[in-house]
Structure 1
Amino acid sequence: MDLSKYKQKRDFDSTTEPKGEIEKSKDELIFVVQKHAATHLHYDFRLEMDGLLKSWAIPKGPSMNPEEKRLAIMVEDHPIDYKDFEGTIPEGNYGAGTVIVWDTGTYTLVDKQHTETVENQLKSGLQGGHLSFILNGEKLKGEFALVRLKVLKKNAWLLIKKDDQYASETDVLKKNKSVLSNLTLEEMEK
Protein backbone atom coordinates (compact mmCIF):
# COMPACT_ATOMS: atom_id res chain seq x y z
CA MET A 1 0.00 0.00 0.00
CA ASP A 2 1.46 3.29 -1.09
CA LEU A 3 0.63 6.52 -2.90
CA SER A 4 2.82 6.02 -5.99
CA LYS A 5 -0.13 5.36 -8.38
CA TYR A 6 -2.05 8.28 -6.89
CA LYS A 7 0.89 10.66 -7.40
CA GLN A 8 1.74 9.36 -10.90
CA LYS A 9 -1.78 10.14 -12.13
CA ARG A 10 -1.82 13.76 -10.93
CA ASP A 11 -0.15 17.03 -11.90
CA PHE A 12 -0.10 18.93 -8.62
CA ASP A 13 0.83 22.15 -10.43
CA SER A 14 -2.63 22.19 -12.04
CA THR A 15 -4.91 20.42 -9.54
CA THR A 16 -5.75 21.40 -5.97
CA GLU A 17 -5.99 17.78 -4.87
CA PRO A 18 -3.78 17.11 -1.83
CA LYS A 19 -0.34 15.58 -2.41
CA GLY A 20 -0.78 13.73 0.83
CA GLU A 21 1.36 11.43 2.87
CA ILE A 22 0.69 8.14 4.62
CA GLU A 23 -0.76 9.01 8.02
CA LYS A 24 -3.36 7.61 10.36
CA SER A 25 -6.37 9.49 11.62
CA LYS A 26 -6.23 10.56 15.23
CA ASP A 27 -8.74 8.25 16.94
CA GLU A 28 -11.19 6.10 15.04
CA LEU A 29 -10.95 4.74 11.50
CA ILE A 30 -12.66 7.06 9.04
CA PHE A 31 -14.59 6.60 5.81
CA VAL A 32 -15.64 9.11 3.18
CA VAL A 33 -17.90 9.00 0.14
CA GLN A 34 -17.27 11.62 -2.52
CA LYS A 35 -19.75 12.33 -5.29
CA HIS A 36 -17.68 12.85 -8.43
CA ALA A 37 -18.96 14.25 -11.73
CA ALA A 38 -16.09 13.10 -13.96
CA THR A 39 -16.57 11.53 -17.41
CA HIS A 40 -19.41 9.60 -15.74
CA LEU A 41 -21.09 10.49 -12.47
CA HIS A 42 -20.04 8.09 -9.72
CA TYR A 43 -19.40 7.91 -5.98
CA ASP A 44 -15.93 7.25 -4.56
CA PHE A 45 -16.17 5.09 -1.43
CA ARG A 46 -13.04 5.26 0.73
CA LEU A 47 -12.08 3.34 3.90
CA GLU A 48 -9.08 4.26 6.03
CA MET A 49 -6.67 1.36 6.15
CA ASP A 50 -3.00 1.33 7.10
CA GLY A 51 -2.61 5.12 6.90
CA LEU A 52 -4.31 5.44 3.49
CA LEU A 53 -7.79 5.53 2.02
CA LYS A 54 -8.55 2.31 0.14
CA SER A 55 -10.86 3.43 -2.66
CA TRP A 56 -13.66 2.02 -4.78
CA ALA A 57 -15.61 3.82 -7.54
CA ILE A 58 -19.33 3.00 -7.32
CA PRO A 59 -21.10 3.92 -10.59
CA LYS A 60 -24.65 3.83 -9.17
CA GLY A 61 -23.71 5.07 -5.70
CA PRO A 62 -24.25 3.35 -2.35
CA SER A 63 -27.65 2.08 -1.27
CA MET A 64 -29.33 1.49 2.08
CA ASN A 65 -31.45 -1.28 0.52
CA PRO A 66 -30.05 -4.80 1.15
CA GLU A 67 -31.66 -5.95 -2.12
CA GLU A 68 -29.51 -3.53 -4.17
CA LYS A 69 -25.95 -4.82 -4.50
CA ARG A 70 -23.75 -2.11 -6.02
CA LEU A 71 -20.74 -2.70 -8.25
CA ALA A 72 -17.60 -1.15 -6.71
CA ILE A 73 -14.42 -0.95 -8.78
CA MET A 74 -11.26 -0.76 -6.68
CA VAL A 75 -9.02 2.15 -7.72
CA GLU A 76 -5.73 3.55 -6.47
CA ASP A 77 -5.14 4.37 -2.79
CA HIS A 78 -5.68 7.99 -1.76
CA PRO A 79 -4.04 9.97 1.08
CA ILE A 80 -6.00 10.48 4.31
CA ASP A 81 -6.23 14.25 3.73
CA TYR A 82 -8.25 13.55 0.55
CA LYS A 83 -11.20 13.03 2.91
CA ASP A 84 -11.86 16.79 2.91
CA PHE A 85 -11.27 17.43 -0.80
CA GLU A 86 -14.04 19.30 -2.61
CA GLY A 87 -13.79 21.37 -5.76
CA THR A 88 -13.19 21.01 -9.46
CA ILE A 89 -10.34 19.02 -10.96
CA PRO A 90 -9.41 20.95 -14.14
CA GLU A 91 -9.88 19.55 -17.65
CA GLY A 92 -6.84 17.63 -18.88
CA ASN A 93 -6.23 16.14 -15.44
CA TYR A 94 -6.97 12.60 -14.29
CA GLY A 95 -10.52 12.54 -12.88
CA ALA A 96 -11.39 15.96 -14.30
CA GLY A 97 -14.71 17.13 -12.90
CA THR A 98 -16.40 18.35 -9.74
CA VAL A 99 -16.19 16.59 -6.36
CA ILE A 100 -18.17 17.01 -3.14
CA VAL A 101 -17.92 15.13 0.15
CA TRP A 102 -21.29 13.38 0.04
CA ASP A 103 -20.83 11.53 3.35
CA THR A 104 -18.20 10.98 6.00
CA GLY A 105 -17.87 9.37 9.39
CA THR A 106 -16.18 6.53 11.20
CA TYR A 107 -16.29 2.78 10.86
CA THR A 108 -15.59 -0.34 12.89
CA LEU A 109 -15.20 -4.00 12.01
CA VAL A 110 -18.19 -6.29 12.50
CA ASP A 111 -16.24 -9.15 14.08
CA LYS A 112 -13.21 -7.89 15.95
CA GLN A 113 -10.77 -10.70 16.72
CA HIS A 114 -8.97 -10.12 19.99
CA THR A 115 -5.98 -12.14 18.79
CA GLU A 116 -5.32 -9.84 15.81
CA THR A 117 -4.90 -6.10 15.44
CA VAL A 118 -7.61 -4.24 13.54
CA GLU A 119 -5.06 -3.38 10.83
CA ASN A 120 -4.17 -7.06 10.34
CA GLN A 121 -7.85 -8.01 10.20
CA LEU A 122 -8.45 -5.33 7.56
CA LYS A 123 -5.48 -6.48 5.46
CA SER A 124 -6.60 -10.09 5.76
CA GLY A 125 -10.17 -9.20 4.72
CA LEU A 126 -8.91 -7.17 1.78
CA GLN A 127 -6.65 -9.98 0.58
CA GLY A 128 -9.40 -12.55 1.11
CA GLY A 129 -11.92 -10.45 -0.81
CA HIS A 130 -14.41 -9.88 2.01
CA LEU A 131 -14.69 -6.92 4.39
CA SER A 132 -17.58 -6.51 6.87
CA PHE A 133 -17.89 -3.20 8.70
CA ILE A 134 -20.29 -0.86 10.45
CA LEU A 135 -20.52 2.70 9.12
CA ASN A 136 -21.38 5.61 11.37
CA GLY A 137 -21.81 8.42 8.87
CA GLU A 138 -24.28 11.22 8.41
CA LYS A 139 -26.09 9.39 5.58
CA LEU A 140 -24.73 5.84 5.62
CA LYS A 141 -25.24 3.90 8.83
CA GLY A 142 -25.15 0.30 9.88
CA GLU A 143 -23.53 -2.85 8.61
CA PHE A 144 -22.13 -3.19 5.09
CA ALA A 145 -19.87 -5.63 3.28
CA LEU A 146 -17.47 -5.32 0.37
CA VAL A 147 -17.14 -8.63 -1.47
CA ARG A 148 -14.74 -9.20 -4.36
CA LEU A 149 -16.26 -10.78 -7.46
CA LYS A 150 -14.35 -13.82 -8.64
CA VAL A 151 -15.71 -13.98 -12.18
CA LEU A 152 -14.70 -10.47 -13.19
CA LYS A 153 -11.44 -8.57 -12.91
CA LYS A 154 -9.54 -8.64 -9.62
CA ASN A 155 -10.64 -5.07 -8.86
CA ALA A 156 -14.42 -5.71 -9.16
CA TRP A 157 -16.29 -5.83 -5.84
CA LEU A 158 -19.87 -5.48 -4.60
CA LEU A 159 -20.93 -3.05 -1.87
CA ILE A 160 -23.80 -4.66 0.02
CA LYS A 161 -25.98 -3.15 2.75
CA LYS A 162 -26.85 -5.70 5.44
CA ASP A 163 -30.40 -6.04 6.73
CA ASP A 164 -30.36 -4.15 10.03
CA GLN A 165 -32.26 -1.32 11.75
CA TYR A 166 -30.81 1.22 9.26
CA ALA A 167 -31.81 -0.69 6.11
CA SER A 168 -34.30 1.22 3.98
CA GLU A 169 -35.84 1.21 0.53
CA THR A 170 -35.69 5.03 0.49
CA ASP A 171 -33.17 6.32 -2.08
CA VAL A 172 -30.38 7.78 0.07
CA LEU A 173 -28.84 9.38 -3.05
CA LYS A 174 -31.65 11.96 -3.05
CA LYS A 175 -29.75 13.54 -0.18
CA ASN A 176 -27.51 15.23 -2.71
CA LYS A 177 -25.69 17.92 -0.71
CA SER A 178 -22.17 17.88 0.66
CA VAL A 179 -21.88 17.15 4.37
CA LEU A 180 -19.03 19.70 4.54
CA SER A 181 -20.12 22.67 2.40
CA ASN A 182 -23.87 21.94 2.13
CA LEU A 183 -23.54 22.45 -1.66
CA THR A 184 -24.76 20.23 -4.50
CA LEU A 185 -22.35 19.24 -7.28
CA GLU A 186 -23.91 21.90 -9.51
CA GLU A 187 -23.49 24.61 -6.86
CA MET A 188 -19.88 23.55 -6.24
CA GLU A 189 -19.13 23.71 -9.96
CA LYS A 190 -20.31 27.34 -10.10
Structure 2
Amino acid sequence: MADKLSKYRSKRDASRTPEPVPQTPPEPQGGDAFVIQEHHARSLHWDLRLEHDGVLASWAVPKGLPDDPGANHLAVHTEDHPMEYLTFHGEIPQGEYGGGTMTIWDQGTYELEKWSDREVKVVLHGSRAGGRFALFQTDGKNWMIHRMDPPAHDPLPDLSPMIPTEHARPPRDPTAYAYEFAWGGRRLLVPIEGGRTTAAREHPWLRPLAESFGSRTALLDGELTTLSGAEVLVFYDLLYDDGHSLVNRPYTVRRAALEALNLSTAHWQTAPSWPGQAHPVRQAAKDQGLPGVVAKRLDSPYEPGESTAWLFIPS
Protein backbone atom coordinates (compact mmCIF):
# COMPACT_ATOMS: atom_id res chain seq x y z
CA MET A 1 0.00 0.00 0.00
CA ALA A 2 1.29 3.47 -0.87
CA ASP A 3 2.59 5.61 1.99
CA LYS A 4 0.06 8.44 2.21
CA LEU A 5 2.48 10.62 4.15
CA SER A 6 5.43 10.43 1.75
CA LYS A 7 4.61 13.80 0.17
CA TYR A 8 4.12 15.41 3.59
CA ARG A 9 7.41 13.98 4.84
CA SER A 10 9.32 15.12 1.73
CA LYS A 11 8.42 18.77 2.43
CA ARG A 12 9.58 18.84 6.05
CA ASP A 13 12.78 18.45 8.01
CA ALA A 14 12.00 17.10 11.49
CA SER A 15 15.14 18.79 12.84
CA ARG A 16 13.94 22.23 11.71
CA THR A 17 10.18 22.29 12.33
CA PRO A 18 8.11 21.51 15.45
CA GLU A 19 5.49 19.82 13.28
CA PRO A 20 4.92 16.08 13.78
CA VAL A 21 6.90 14.12 11.18
CA PRO A 22 6.20 10.40 11.73
CA GLN A 23 8.76 8.13 10.09
CA THR A 24 6.48 5.17 9.45
CA PRO A 25 3.52 4.89 7.06
CA PRO A 26 0.10 5.47 8.67
CA GLU A 27 -2.11 2.56 9.61
CA PRO A 28 -5.55 2.56 7.93
CA GLN A 29 -8.28 3.18 10.50
CA GLY A 30 -11.76 4.60 10.79
CA GLY A 31 -12.39 7.92 12.47
CA ASP A 32 -14.48 11.06 12.29
CA ALA A 33 -12.33 13.85 13.75
CA PHE A 34 -11.69 17.19 12.09
CA VAL A 35 -9.59 20.25 12.87
CA ILE A 36 -9.46 23.75 11.39
CA GLN A 37 -6.22 25.64 11.92
CA GLU A 38 -5.76 29.37 11.40
CA HIS A 39 -2.46 29.73 9.57
CA HIS A 40 -0.65 33.06 9.41
CA ALA A 41 1.86 32.04 6.75
CA ARG A 42 2.86 33.97 3.61
CA SER A 43 -0.84 34.77 3.36
CA LEU A 44 -3.54 34.20 5.96
CA HIS A 45 -5.67 31.11 5.40
CA TRP A 46 -7.45 28.32 7.25
CA ASP A 47 -6.54 24.63 6.96
CA LEU A 48 -9.46 22.21 7.04
CA ARG A 49 -8.41 18.65 7.89
CA LEU A 50 -10.69 15.61 7.92
CA GLU A 51 -9.66 12.24 9.34
CA HIS A 52 -9.78 9.62 6.58
CA ASP A 53 -8.00 6.26 6.26
CA GLY A 54 -5.47 6.96 8.99
CA VAL A 55 -4.45 10.45 7.81
CA LEU A 56 -5.91 13.95 7.72
CA ALA A 57 -7.10 14.89 4.24
CA SER A 58 -6.35 18.62 3.99
CA TRP A 59 -7.52 21.73 2.17
CA ALA A 60 -6.19 25.31 2.49
CA VAL A 61 -9.15 27.72 2.49
CA PRO A 62 -8.01 31.36 2.00
CA LYS A 63 -11.28 32.95 3.13
CA GLY A 64 -12.38 30.33 5.65
CA LEU A 65 -15.60 28.35 5.56
CA PRO A 66 -18.46 30.10 3.73
CA ASP A 67 -21.45 31.24 5.78
CA ASP A 68 -23.64 31.83 2.74
CA PRO A 69 -24.75 28.97 0.42
CA GLY A 70 -24.64 31.50 -2.42
CA ALA A 71 -20.89 32.14 -2.10
CA ASN A 72 -18.44 29.28 -2.65
CA HIS A 73 -14.88 29.65 -1.36
CA LEU A 74 -11.65 28.41 -2.89
CA ALA A 75 -10.23 25.31 -1.16
CA VAL A 76 -6.78 24.20 -2.37
CA HIS A 77 -6.27 20.46 -1.85
CA THR A 78 -2.92 19.94 -0.11
CA GLU A 79 -0.97 16.85 0.95
CA ASP A 80 -2.36 14.46 3.57
CA HIS A 81 -1.21 15.26 7.12
CA PRO A 82 -0.50 12.89 10.02
CA MET A 83 -3.11 12.29 12.71
CA GLU A 84 -0.91 14.10 15.23
CA TYR A 85 -1.83 17.31 13.42
CA LEU A 86 -5.26 17.19 15.11
CA THR A 87 -3.70 18.92 18.10
CA PHE A 88 -0.77 20.75 16.51
CA HIS A 89 -0.29 24.47 17.03
CA GLY A 90 2.84 26.57 17.16
CA GLU A 91 5.38 28.54 15.18
CA ILE A 92 6.73 26.98 11.98
CA PRO A 93 10.12 28.64 11.33
CA GLN A 94 10.33 31.16 8.51
CA GLY A 95 12.00 29.64 5.48
CA GLU A 96 10.41 26.26 6.15
CA TYR A 97 7.39 25.01 4.21
CA GLY A 98 4.33 26.80 5.60
CA GLY A 99 6.43 29.06 7.83
CA GLY A 100 4.33 31.15 10.22
CA THR A 101 2.03 30.90 13.23
CA MET A 102 -0.58 28.15 13.38
CA THR A 103 -3.37 28.02 15.95
CA ILE A 104 -6.34 25.70 16.34
CA TRP A 105 -9.43 27.62 15.27
CA ASP A 106 -11.88 24.75 15.84
CA GLN A 107 -12.02 21.00 16.20
CA GLY A 108 -14.68 18.34 16.58
CA THR A 109 -16.25 15.45 14.71
CA TYR A 110 -17.99 15.09 11.37
CA GLU A 111 -20.59 12.88 9.70
CA LEU A 112 -19.58 11.59 6.30
CA GLU A 113 -22.20 11.76 3.53
CA LYS A 114 -19.96 11.17 0.48
CA TRP A 115 -16.26 10.65 -0.25
CA SER A 116 -14.85 10.32 -3.76
CA ASP A 117 -11.75 11.52 -5.59
CA ARG A 118 -13.61 14.62 -6.78
CA GLU A 119 -16.22 15.33 -4.10
CA VAL A 120 -16.53 15.15 -0.32
CA LYS A 121 -19.72 15.89 1.63
CA VAL A 122 -19.65 16.22 5.41
CA VAL A 123 -21.61 17.60 8.35
CA LEU A 124 -19.27 19.36 10.77
CA HIS A 125 -19.91 19.35 14.51
CA GLY A 126 -17.54 21.85 16.12
CA SER A 127 -17.83 24.66 18.62
CA ARG A 128 -17.37 27.33 15.93
CA ALA A 129 -17.88 25.48 12.65
CA GLY A 130 -21.11 23.60 12.09
CA GLY A 131 -23.30 22.56 9.18
CA ARG A 132 -23.29 20.65 5.90
CA PHE A 133 -20.45 21.36 3.48
CA ALA A 134 -19.46 19.99 0.09
CA LEU A 135 -15.89 20.07 -1.21
CA PHE A 136 -15.65 19.55 -4.97
CA GLN A 137 -12.78 19.55 -7.44
CA THR A 138 -12.69 22.07 -10.27
CA ASP A 139 -9.24 21.73 -11.89
CA GLY A 140 -5.88 20.47 -10.68
CA LYS A 141 -5.39 21.15 -6.96
CA ASN A 142 -8.21 23.67 -7.00
CA TRP A 143 -11.33 22.70 -5.18
CA MET A 144 -14.22 24.76 -3.90
CA ILE A 145 -16.13 24.49 -0.64
CA HIS A 146 -19.88 25.06 -0.62
CA ARG A 147 -22.24 25.42 2.31
CA MET A 148 -25.31 23.25 1.73
CA ASP A 149 -27.57 24.39 4.60
CA PRO A 150 -28.99 27.87 5.32
CA PRO A 151 -26.66 30.65 6.50
CA ALA A 152 -25.53 30.24 10.08
CA HIS A 153 -25.28 34.01 10.58
CA ASP A 154 -26.78 37.31 9.48
CA PRO A 155 -25.49 38.32 6.04
CA LEU A 156 -22.87 41.07 5.91
CA PRO A 157 -24.92 44.19 5.06
CA ASP A 158 -24.23 46.42 2.09
CA LEU A 159 -24.87 49.94 3.36
CA SER A 160 -24.29 53.59 2.64
CA PRO A 161 -23.02 55.75 5.53
CA MET A 162 -25.30 57.43 8.07
CA ILE A 163 -25.05 61.21 7.53
CA PRO A 164 -25.73 63.77 10.28
CA THR A 165 -28.19 66.62 9.81
CA GLU A 166 -26.73 70.07 10.40
CA HIS A 167 -28.05 71.82 13.51
CA ALA A 168 -27.02 75.28 14.70
CA ARG A 169 -27.12 74.47 18.41
CA PRO A 170 -26.80 71.43 20.70
CA PRO A 171 -30.03 69.48 21.25
CA ARG A 172 -32.40 70.55 24.01
CA ASP A 173 -31.82 67.32 25.92
CA PRO A 174 -28.02 66.98 25.86
CA THR A 175 -28.03 63.90 28.12
CA ALA A 176 -29.79 61.86 25.39
CA TYR A 177 -26.75 62.14 23.12
CA ALA A 178 -23.07 61.23 22.92
CA TYR A 179 -20.73 63.83 21.45
CA GLU A 180 -17.86 63.15 19.09
CA PHE A 181 -15.52 65.35 17.11
CA ALA A 182 -16.41 66.09 13.49
CA TRP A 183 -13.09 65.29 11.83
CA GLY A 184 -13.67 66.97 8.49
CA GLY A 185 -12.30 63.95 6.61
CA ARG A 186 -13.64 61.39 4.14
CA ARG A 187 -16.05 58.68 5.25
CA LEU A 188 -15.01 55.09 4.73
CA LEU A 189 -16.95 51.89 5.44
CA VAL A 190 -14.54 48.99 5.97
CA PRO A 191 -15.93 45.45 5.46
CA ILE A 192 -13.68 42.70 6.83
CA GLU A 193 -14.19 39.07 5.87
CA GLY A 194 -11.79 36.14 5.84
CA GLY A 195 -8.95 38.33 7.09
CA ARG A 196 -9.26 40.64 4.09
CA THR A 197 -10.94 43.93 3.19
CA THR A 198 -11.85 45.46 -0.15
CA ALA A 199 -10.85 48.84 1.35
CA ALA A 200 -7.21 47.72 1.03
CA ARG A 201 -7.42 48.07 -2.76
CA GLU A 202 -7.28 51.85 -2.32
CA HIS A 203 -5.51 51.82 1.06
CA PRO A 204 -3.02 48.89 1.17
CA TRP A 205 -1.98 49.82 4.72
CA LEU A 206 -5.34 48.43 5.91
CA ARG A 207 -4.29 44.83 5.14
CA PRO A 208 -2.78 44.28 8.62
CA LEU A 209 -6.03 45.54 10.18
CA ALA A 210 -8.04 42.95 8.25
CA GLU A 211 -5.56 40.16 9.07
CA SER A 212 -5.78 41.02 12.76
CA PHE A 213 -9.48 40.08 12.69
CA GLY A 214 -8.69 36.50 11.61
CA SER A 215 -11.96 34.79 10.68
CA ARG A 216 -14.05 37.41 12.49
CA THR A 217 -16.30 39.24 10.02
CA ALA A 218 -17.01 42.92 10.64
CA LEU A 219 -18.22 46.15 9.07
CA LEU A 220 -16.68 49.31 10.50
CA ASP A 221 -17.69 52.92 9.89
CA GLY A 222 -15.05 55.60 10.11
CA GLU A 223 -13.38 58.60 8.59
CA LEU A 224 -10.03 59.20 6.94
CA THR A 225 -8.44 62.28 8.45
CA THR A 226 -5.03 63.82 9.03
CA LEU A 227 -3.61 63.88 12.56
CA SER A 228 -0.15 65.32 13.26
CA GLY A 229 0.58 65.26 9.53
CA ALA A 230 -0.27 61.58 9.04
CA GLU A 231 -3.33 59.97 7.46
CA VAL A 232 -5.31 58.08 10.11
CA LEU A 233 -8.55 56.12 9.90
CA VAL A 234 -10.73 57.05 12.86
CA PHE A 235 -13.47 54.49 13.61
CA TYR A 236 -16.68 55.53 15.31
CA ASP A 237 -19.24 52.81 14.61
CA LEU A 238 -19.48 49.02 14.26
CA LEU A 239 -22.32 47.78 12.07
CA TYR A 240 -21.63 44.04 11.92
CA ASP A 241 -19.63 41.85 14.23
CA ASP A 242 -18.82 38.14 14.21
CA GLY A 243 -21.92 36.97 12.36
CA HIS A 244 -24.40 39.45 13.77
CA SER A 245 -25.79 42.66 12.29
CA LEU A 246 -25.77 45.58 14.73
CA VAL A 247 -27.56 48.01 12.42
CA ASN A 248 -30.82 47.89 14.39
CA ARG A 249 -29.16 47.96 17.79
CA PRO A 250 -28.92 51.26 19.70
CA TYR A 251 -25.82 53.43 19.44
CA THR A 252 -24.77 52.49 22.99
CA VAL A 253 -24.62 48.78 22.10
CA ARG A 254 -22.69 49.41 18.88
CA ARG A 255 -20.30 51.75 20.67
CA ALA A 256 -19.55 49.21 23.42
CA ALA A 257 -18.86 46.52 20.79
CA LEU A 258 -16.55 48.89 18.90
CA GLU A 259 -14.58 49.79 22.02
CA ALA A 260 -14.19 46.08 22.86
CA LEU A 261 -12.16 45.65 19.66
CA ASN A 262 -9.38 47.87 21.08
CA LEU A 263 -8.52 49.38 17.70
CA SER A 264 -5.53 51.60 18.36
CA THR A 265 -2.41 51.87 16.20
CA ALA A 266 -0.52 54.61 14.40
CA HIS A 267 -2.73 54.08 11.33
CA TRP A 268 -6.19 53.54 12.85
CA GLN A 269 -7.86 54.26 16.14
CA THR A 270 -11.24 54.44 17.87
CA ALA A 271 -12.70 57.93 18.02
CA PRO A 272 -13.33 59.28 21.54
CA SER A 273 -16.95 59.76 22.59
CA TRP A 274 -18.41 61.74 25.50
CA PRO A 275 -22.05 61.10 26.50
CA GLY A 276 -23.90 64.20 27.68
CA GLN A 277 -20.97 66.64 27.38
CA ALA A 278 -22.12 68.93 24.59
CA HIS A 279 -20.46 72.20 25.55
CA PRO A 280 -17.00 70.92 26.66
CA VAL A 281 -16.64 68.78 23.52
CA ARG A 282 -17.77 71.62 21.26
CA GLN A 283 -15.26 73.96 22.87
CA ALA A 284 -12.48 71.37 22.52
CA ALA A 285 -13.32 70.95 18.82
CA LYS A 286 -13.12 74.72 18.36
CA ASP A 287 -9.79 74.91 20.21
CA GLN A 288 -8.32 72.20 17.94
CA GLY A 289 -9.57 73.83 14.75
CA LEU A 290 -12.06 71.06 13.96
CA PRO A 291 -15.28 71.77 12.03
CA GLY A 292 -17.53 70.96 14.97
CA VAL A 293 -19.07 68.02 16.83
CA VAL A 294 -21.57 65.29 16.00
CA ALA A 295 -24.30 64.58 18.56
CA LYS A 296 -25.51 60.97 18.34
CA ARG A 297 -28.70 59.83 20.03
CA LEU A 298 -27.85 57.07 22.51
CA ASP A 299 -30.93 55.01 21.58
CA SER A 300 -30.69 55.40 17.80
CA PRO A 301 -30.19 52.55 15.32
CA TYR A 302 -27.88 52.99 12.33
CA GLU A 303 -29.88 54.73 9.58
CA PRO A 304 -28.11 54.87 6.16
CA GLY A 305 -28.40 58.26 4.50
CA GLU A 306 -29.18 61.56 6.19
CA SER A 307 -30.67 61.15 9.66
CA THR A 308 -31.86 63.48 12.39
CA ALA A 309 -30.59 61.01 15.01
CA TRP A 310 -27.10 62.40 14.31
CA LEU A 311 -26.64 66.16 14.43
CA PHE A 312 -23.65 68.07 13.09
CA ILE A 313 -23.11 71.15 15.25
CA PRO A 314 -20.51 73.61 13.88
CA SER A 315 -17.79 74.90 16.23
Q: How many residues align?
A: 156
Residue 19 (str. 1) matches residue 21 (str. 2): yes
Give the structure with higher Rg (CA). Answer: 2
Residue 108 (str. 1) matches residue 111 (str. 2): yes
Q: SS at the partner of 2:144?
A: strand
- Corresponding residue number in structure 1 for 2:137: 148
- Structure 2 unaligned segments of length 5 or more: list them: 156-192, 195-214, 218-315
- Would you identify which runs of 4 or more consecutive aligned residues in structure 1 move more than 6 Å? none
Q: TM-score, normalised to structure 2's length?
A: 0.46
Instruction: Quote the Cα distance in structure 2 between the aligned partners of 1:2 and 1:16.
Output: 20
Contact kept? 1:65, 1:169, Cα under 8 Å: no
Tell which has more relative contact order, 1 or 2 (C-alpha 8 A, sep 6+): 1
**What is the one-letter code of the residue matched to 1:156?**
N
1:99 paired residue among 91, 99, 102: 102
Instruction: Quote the Cα distance in structure 2 between the aligned partners of 1:24 and 1:136.
Output: 23
- Corresponding residue number in structure 1 for 2:188: none
- Corresponding residue number in structure 2 for 1:116: none
Instruction: Quote the Cα distance in structure 2 between the aligned partners of 1:18 and 1:157.
Output: 26
C-alpha deviation, 1:28, in angstroms:
4.2
Contact kept? 1:42, 1:59, Cα under 8 Å: yes
RMSD: 2.1
**What is the one-letter code of the residue matched to 2:15?**
D
Change in Cα spacing, 1:143 to 1:23, as seen in structure 2 (3 Å) is same
Instruction: Quote the Cα distance in structure 1 between the aligned partners of 2:80 and 2:126.
Output: 21
- Corresponding residue number in structure 1 for 2:311: none
- Counterparts of residues 148-167 of structure 1 (less than 5 Å): 148-149=137-138, 152=139, 154-164=140-150, 167=152
- Counterparts of residues 1-190 of structure 1 (less than 5 Å): 2-20=4-22, 22-23=26-27, 28-110=31-113, 122=115, 125=116, 127=117, 129-149=118-138, 152=139, 154-164=140-150, 167-169=152-154, 173-174=215-216
**What is the one-letter code of the residue matched to 1:7?**
R
